[in-house]
Each structure stands twice: as structure tokens, then as C-alpha cells.
A and B are shown apart, each in its own frame.
Chain A
């Protein structure tokens, strides 16, 4: 039994998708982010960084979206990506980590450009970050086009949520990412959007009828 500490349309959406896809029993614990729940001692005991998501496991609590996905991947092999030891695992891990440590942080800076260089430089920082992000997405798009096996749901769920944010929540509208420029990514995310897991999570979190594909 897992307990996922979550909030709608936070990074927990990614791990929520994975848990539904795996089909293991879990409990969703929505945290009152605006009410200061993440600053409480109780939450910090679960996640010292004070971010969403965190997950309680039979082995204790853990945090970091990507770490939770890989933990689930190790415990339920073959659902989110090629099983450990299987062919294609090397390429899958390469691009999974690229999504988590390059595309995810850049997406956060696109949504919060004031975190790059302060309030006064938001507009210029947003433009820099958007260009970096487009370059990173281009690498991934070409890799996906050449190797459809990379489109396992672990990468797919992660990308779907990030692509949603890049379209909808860019602080500077003109710097929002146009998914049409990345056809392989768009195709993967459209496929993910139609899965039962995505339909369930979109409903549960109130993300709307086309949460990942329509800006």
C-alpha cells in the first residue's frame, strides 16, 4: 500500500498517473498547499524539501518525482519502461533522466521566470529559458521519432504533464511552447491522453477534457 501526498495539477499528477497505470493499491492524500501544509513539521518529516509529491512506501517515505517513478518501476517492472535488464533499458533511462533533469527544471523556470534572475528580469529570462527548452525538446523529439520504444508510459506520463504546463502556464504567453513543433512528442502525449489512466486522473484532478494536448 502506497500513500501519495499530492495536490491537483502539481508534479504529483505524474506519479498519480503511474500508480493508476500500475494498478497497485494506493491512497491519495491531498495536501492543502495554499493553507501551508507543506511547511508543517509533519509534512517535512515525510519530505524535508517541502515539495509535492512525496510517497509513503512499505520501506518508509520518499520524495522526488523521478525517484518515485523509478521506485515504482523497480517494484512493478515492465509497466513504466523496459524492465531492468531488458533490451532498450539503456536508451529509456537516458531519456527519462533527460526529461527529469533538463526538461523539468526548464519548465519550472518558464512558469516561474522570476526564479531565474529576479522580478526585474523576468521577461528576458523567460525568452532565454524558452529557447533552451525548445532545443531540449528538439533533441527528445528526434530521439522519439527514431525509437518509438522510448515512448513508454514512464516518459509519456512525465512529458504529458510538463507539456501541459509549458502550454498553459508559461508566465510570458509569447514564450509558451507550441507542441506542433515537436510532432513525435505531440503524438506520444496524444496517445497518453487517451489511456484509461489519464482519463481517470484528469477526472480525479479536474484537469479538463484535453488536459495534455490543447493549450
Chain B
């Protein structure tokens, strides 16, 4: 099952699972008024590994977005392609910082957070605590730099910018999903990111998506485990 969102006839199909990285793309589309249709990737049956899904994204990662130019995988790539296609670039003077922080979110923060979700892919069973501590320390550094960036460039971190849903979702997932504990995560240490989480929670688009994916009332400031009406987060 799926649903229509945004204005007009959707030209995009977002393959999603609740509270997966597809959430970043979905929030971005809601804010920008980009029409899309969702298609659930049912993780309970391993649909992300099915031949059909692998044709969209050979790496089997969620999300994938079907477009008139063919399927796109990778959250950062989808955000960039939509930003180009829909003329959503920030002030030209901010192109460099926008790209820099988008890739910092994607390559550094998201990549290291993934280590905390799937530690067995990166370290042997006997060294999980050491692996956890090193990856967690890197996340603290990442959020510190992102906090400073949000203070320096508030225009880049408004809810309409691709950076905001990306940062907000990493904050949410940091509070919920790391194996080996979340004691390192304390939103109040990063006041600009805390404000961003609150601003995202207050958006009507966030409320619509939170309802659709069962994310609760304050999905970014006070995250709870999802209770989605369809599909599974993990």
C-alpha cells in the first residue's frame, strides 16, 4: 500500500520503511511541497534484498527514489538531485557551505552512526566496547561541529533546507538505535541542534509524517521507538 503526498500528480515514488533514512527525504519533500507517492519496503520479509528492490538499489539500502531520470539511491544523492531539479539551492554564496555540511552529514556523521547500529560489520565480537567508544567519540565531535555550523549559518539549517531533516534524523536515531548504549548522546550539549530538533517537531509536515510512520508527538526533541501503521523500522 502507499499514499499520495504533496501537491499535484506525483512524479516520484519513494521506496521507504518507517524511521529509515527514507524519513529524511520524506520530510524534505513535505517542506518543499514536492509531490511523491510512497511504496513500503517490507523489512519483515526482507524486501530490501528482493530482486525487485535490488534493481532500484543494488546495495539494498533504503531509500530509493524513482524519478523520470531513473531510480536514485543514497539519501544525499536524492537530496542533491531534488535540490537541482526543483531549484531549491540556497543563496549562491552559501553553495560551498551547503555542500560541505551535506557531505559532512552523509560521509562523516551518518557513516559513523551506522557503525553504532551495525557494529558487527566493523569490528570483531571481542572488541565491541572499544569499537563503540571510538565511534561514539567521533559522533560527539560531529555533533559539536554541526552545532557550531548551525549557529554560524542559520539559513542553512532552517526546516526547509535539506540539512535540517538530515541533522534532525541523525539526532533522533542517536537517541534510539545505537547498540551498546546511548550515554554519550545528550542533546542539551548542542543548543543549536536542540533548537533545530524543536523547530522540526513544530512543522506541520513533520506532524503528517510522524503520523504516517508512527513516530510520536515530538520525534526529534523527545524520540520514542516507532509504532508504524505499516512496515517495520528494523
A-side residues, CB < 8 A to B, are 48-49, 57, 59-68, 70-71, 74, 84-85, 87-91, 93-94, 96-98, 100-102, 104-105, 109, 115-118, 120-121, 124-125, 127-129, 132, 136, 139, 142-143
Contacts and interface: CB of A to CB of B under 8 A. Distances in A.
A59 B97 CA distance: 9
Nearest to B92: A59
Contact of B123 (A60, A125, A143): A125
Given A89-B81, A89-B84, A116 B107 contact: no
Q: Which 6 A-B pairs have the closest CB atoms?
A: A124-B124, A121-B127, A62-B96, A117-B123, A117-B127, A67-B99
A44 B70 CA distance: 40
Interface residues of B, number: 49
Given A101-B111, A104-B107, A125-B124, A62 B100 contact: yes
Interface in B21-76: 57-59, 67, 69-76
A66 B108 CA distance: 11
A116 B122 contact: yes
B121 A132 contact: yes
Residue from A59, A94, A127 whose CB has the most chain B CB atoms within 10 Å: A94
A94 B76 CA distance: 8
A91 B70 contact: yes
Contacts of A68: 99
B59 A98 contact: yes
Nearest to B67: A90
11 contacts: A64-B103, A87-B69, A89-B81, A91-B70, A91-B71, A98-B73, A100-B107, A101-B74, A105-B111, A128-B120, A132-B121
Contacts of A132: 121-122
Nearest to B98: A67
B123 A48 contact: no
Contact of B76 (A57, A65, A74, A97): A97
A84 B85 CA distance: 8
B124 A117 contact: yes
A127 B130 CA distance: 17
A49 B145 CA distance: 8
B77 interface: yes
Contacts of B93: 59-60
B182 interface: no
B161 interface: no
A93 B123 contact: no
B104 A84 contact: no
B194 interface: no
A89 B68 CA distance: 11
Contacts of B122: 109, 116-117, 125, 128-129, 132
Given A91-B70, A105-B111, A142 B124 contact: no
A3 B120 CA distance: 41
A121 B96 contact: no
Contact of A48 (B96, B106, B131, B145): B145
Contact of A90 (B59, B72, B92, B120): B72
B73 A94 contact: yes
Nearest to A147: B70
B111 A60 contact: no
B9 interface: no
Interface in B207-226: none
Nearest to B64: A94
Contact of B59 (A59, A87, A105, A139): A139
Contacts of B145: 48-49
A94 B99 contact: no
Given A101-B74, A115-B134, A120-B130, A71 B123 contact: no
**Most chain A beta-carbon neighbours within 10 Å: one of B77, B85, B101:** B77
Contact of B124 (A62, A101, A121): A121
Given A97-B74, A97-B106, A128 B123 contact: yes
